[in-house]
Structure 1
C-alpha cells in the first residue's frame, strides 16, 4: 500500500467516526426530549413562554388613591366623571356589620347614594376587600320585597340579605337623626344588585346598584 493510499484511508475512517458520533449524539437528544414529553415534563424554555405577563398592581387604598371611607359631609367628590357634593351620611349597623351611605347631589337634582363597606373574602384565605356601590332610585310600582325571587324589568333577582339596621344620620339625608331601617337585598345572576329600604312604618323605596372600584372615587375638596 502506497503512502498516499494510507493517508486517504485514514482520513476516510476519521470522517466516518465523526459522522457516527454526531448521529448517536443527536439520537440521544431526540430520545431524551421524547421521554420528557411522555413523562409530562416541559422544557424550561416552554415554561417561561407559558408564564402570563405580569399584571399591573391594583393599588393600595389610602396610599395609591384616597380612601373613600374618609369622605365627610360637605366634601366635593368626583365619581364616574361627575362632581357631586356630599349632602349627608348614614352610619348603619346590622349584626355586627357596619357600613356608610353618602347622599350625593350633582347639581341636577338627581340624588344618588354611595355606600362604602369593608367585606370579608368570599372564600377561605381571600383577604377582605372594600366594596363601593353607587345606588340610583328606580320605580318598582309599589312592589313589596318578598322572600322569593323578584322579576324587575325582565330580570330575575334572588334574595341575598334581609334585616333591620340601626342608623345614625348626619347632614341632609331626609331621614331622622337616629332610627331603624328595614332592608332587603337581591342579586341577579349577572351580578346586578337591587335593594329595598324603608323606615319602619313607612313605604318601601328601591334602588339599583352599580359596583365601582375604590380608586375611581376622587375627593376634590374637603368640607368646612
Structure 2
C-alpha cells in the first residue's frame, strides 16, 4: 500500500512539474511574439501665415495716415496728384472700410480703399491695408462661387457678401444702399474684386497693395 501511495505521489509531482514547464514556455513564447504598439501618429498642422509686416515708421508721424483722407483733399499717390471726389463708407459683419473715388486727370477715376484688418492670429496686431484699384473690362462676366479665369490668370474666391454703404461727395453712387461684392486672389497674390450696387451691373477691378508712405497730402479740404 505504501509503495502504491509513493508511486501516485511521484506521478502527481511529475505532472505538476510538466504543467509548470509548459506554462513558463508558453508565457515566454507569447512575450517574444508580442511587439509594443507603435505610438499614435500626430497629424502635421501647417504653420499659419504671418500677418503683413509694415515698414518702419510711425503712422501719422513719419508718414501721412490714409485713414484721415477726406472728400476734397488733394493727395499724391505713386507720383500722381489726385483729388478725392467722393467716398463710400462700407460696413459688413462688423467690419468697416472706406473707398475713395480719385480724379488723377486721366479720366480713369480709380478707387482707393483703406481698411484696418485684424491679424491672422489673435496675437497679431491689426494692420492697415491700402489698395489702389484699376478697372478691368468684364464684358458681362459675373462672379463665380468657384475659381475663375481672368486674362489667363486663375483666381480663387476668398470672400463674398452683401454690405451696406453710405456715400459722401461725388461718388457716383446713391446716398446709401447695399453693395454686393466678391473677392478673389491669384497664386501670385494678385487681387480681383467684383462689386455691384444693387440694381446696377457688376464691375470688376484689380487691386494693387500700397506700402506705408505711398500716400502724401498735397492740400487738405477746408
> Which segment drifts farther, 122-131 or 138-147?
122-131
Query: Of residues 154, 164, 168 in structure 1, which corresponds to 2:166?
Result: 168
Partner of residue 74, structure 1 = 72
How far does residue 215 in structure 1 lie from its aligned partner after superposition? 1.3
Partner of residue 95, structure 2 = 97
Partner of residue 210, structure 2 = 212
Provide the rounded CA distance (Å) in 2 between the counterparts of 1:186 and 1:161: 7
The RMSD of aligned alpha carbons is 1.3
TM-score by length of 2: 0.74
How far does residue 191 in structure 1 lie from its aligned partner after superposition? 0.5
Greater percentage in helix: 1
Query: Of residues 133, 144, 147 in structure 2, which corresponds to 1:146?
Result: 144
Q: SS of the residue aligned with 1:77?
A: strand
TM-score by length of 1: 0.73
Provide the rounded CA distance (Å) in 2 between the counterparts of 1:131 and 1:200: 26
> Which segment drifts farther, 81-90 or 105-114?
105-114
- Residue 119 of structure 1 contacts residue 128 of structure 1 at CA under 8 Å; is this kept in 2? yes
**Unaligned 5+ runs, structure 1:** 1-56
Provide the rounded CA distance (Å) in 2 between the counterparts of 1:82 and 1:122: 33
Provide the rounded CA distance (Å) in 1 between the counterparts of 2:102 and 2:92: 23
Residue correspondences, number: 169
1:129-156 residue CA offsets vs partner (Å, 9 max, x unmatched)? 0000000111011111010001001100
How far does residue 124 in structure 1 lie from its aligned partner after superposition? 4.1
Partner of residue 114, structure 1 = 112
Partner of residue 37, structure 2 = none
1:102-126 residue CA offsets vs partner (Å, 9 max, x unmatched)? 0000112121000000011123422
> Which segment drifts farther, 211-220 or 174-183?
211-220
1:28-51 residue CA offsets vs partner (Å, 9 max, x unmatched)? xxxxxxxxxxxxxxxxxxxxxxxx
Partner of residue 127, structure 2 = 129
> Which segment drifts farther, 57-66 or 142-151?
57-66
- Residue 68 of structure 1 contacts residue 214 of structure 1 at CA under 8 Å; is this kept in 2? no
Q: SS of the residue aligned with 1:197?
A: strand
Q: SS of the residue aligned with 1:214?
A: coil
- Residue 114 of structure 1 contacts residue 135 of structure 1 at CA under 8 Å; is this kept in 2? yes
Q: SS of the residue aligned with 1:162?
A: strand
Query: Of residues 196, 216, 219 in structure 2, which corresponds to 1:198?
Result: 196
**Unaligned 5+ runs, structure 2:** 1-54
- Residue 105 of structure 1 contacts residue 111 of structure 1 at CA under 8 Å; is this kept in 2? yes
- Residue 65 of structure 1 contacts residue 215 of structure 1 at CA under 8 Å; is this kept in 2? yes
Provide the rounded CA distance (Å) in 2 between the counterparts of 1:139 and 1:95: 29
